[in-house]
Structure 1
Amino acid sequence: MAASQWVVEGTMENFQQVVVDGSRERPIVIDFWAPWCGPCRALAPLLEKLANEKAGEFLLMKINTDENPDLAQMFQVEGIPAVFAVRDGQVVNNFTGLLPEAQLRQFIDDLGTGAAAPAEPTPLDQAAELESHDRGAAGNAYRAMLATAPDDPAARVGLARVLLSAPGNEPQAIPLLSGVDFGDFATEAQRLKTIIHLREVPHADADLTAARSATTAEAKVALARILAARGDYTGAMDELLAAADDDRQLGRTAVRDLMLKVFEVIGPRSPQADDYRKRLQSRLY
């Protein structure tokens, strides 16, 4: 999460003060997200950008649904990202999925005009919402978007993300991400490219079994590469910390390099990345 006085992390402990009481002074926009949610990563920087631009006209609260399931249940969240606008203790507007920046700006601007009707879901909204519970349908929705607009970066990145949710689809995902280097979806495209890069390491069950006997620092880094390729990012980071404990010099090179790639996948400023960054730094300096 970006460091900002206009962006706060929501918990059950601060919900009453920040949302219920705080919404009587200014609108509160709540972003329900999770570290594993690709659309959430695409939406988050746009919301944070607007919060900083508006400089106090509204407060953005980010709630991790994995850590705060009670709050998600309170708002009857069924798919993420889910965004709710609260004013005077009441929800006045909401949407689920991604919105283009122009529509997101309108959503925020409407908080000051009293408009309360939710925006009509766009094809992108519908596809992003499907990702949370029906990836096959989400893939078809993105393909339908590409049939009419082959260069649409949102659809290209969305379909690539759906494809990469299962192993073996990397060859189909690579061309979709080609050329998405600028704009709102470039960060997510780069994250997906990093996932593809990490999966280049052989990581079959036999590879993992053979690597489990790792005892040297180098062998632990090799095991971390396999775990990262399999999507076990927490396990990979734990092995990297163990390797840094064994060899501080390796910790400053191969360990750090792989850790940064994992951070790029889980979110460079996510709470988990911040935690492991501090733990690695404590071992190296």
Structure 2
Amino acid sequence: MEAVIQDVNDASFEHDVIDASREQPVVVDFWAAWCPPCRALGPILEDVAARSPNVTLVKLDTDASPRTAMRYGIRGIPAVKAFNDGAVVDEFVGLQTLPFVERFFATLAPAAPVTLPSDEGGLRALVDSNGENLPARLALGRLLIGAGRLDDADTVLRAAAHEPVADGLRARIELLRSERTGLPPALAQPDGAAELALMPDLITAIRSAGGDERSQLRRVAVGVLTEHTASPEVERLRAQLASALF
């Protein structure tokens, strides 16, 4: 499949690049016909663009559109700039290899979401085949905690103990093993997608806890917040957690 590469110029740049990048990332190849490295890079960009449906590739002839080239400080070509939400978010200059260009495009568009199995056997198969599959490891750990199999869950999560979400799940295991009273009931049924709702109870518990329990509750809270992307709600909860701790 060949990508359809659009030529843009001074007159069309605002619409075809700036405005278009608010819908999906746009990569601009600043080039000129007299430039051999530009002619070598062009097919590489087009090859990767053909395999990157969530990124648009356009070309701008710097000789024909000097105003835009000057606006973006183009001094050497080929120069490649990636635009997202109307602004330059990444760039490189000069002829690059295919793997380099593939990585450049890959960082611009989020990967398609991966659906994990919901059963223990399917999750274990993923973890066994690739020990670096963190989402599968976390999902398996959650499933085992929910089933009350704390030792098995700890074994699964220990391999990723350096990672905040896994550390937070291991802190739950420590709290559940302690059989302390007054802990939030939801600790025993971890659900990554809905756990922000647990945060007010965690913060309340942190305010009154001390010693190891306070440290464990803090680790649980950090794990929950780490798993959620920045948003006004997450920032508000971070501030409340900091207030409870300090």
In the superposition, the TM-score normalised over structure 1's length comes to 0.37
In the superposition, the TM-score normalised over structure 2's length comes to 0.41
Answer with 1 or 2: which has the greater Rg. Answer: 2
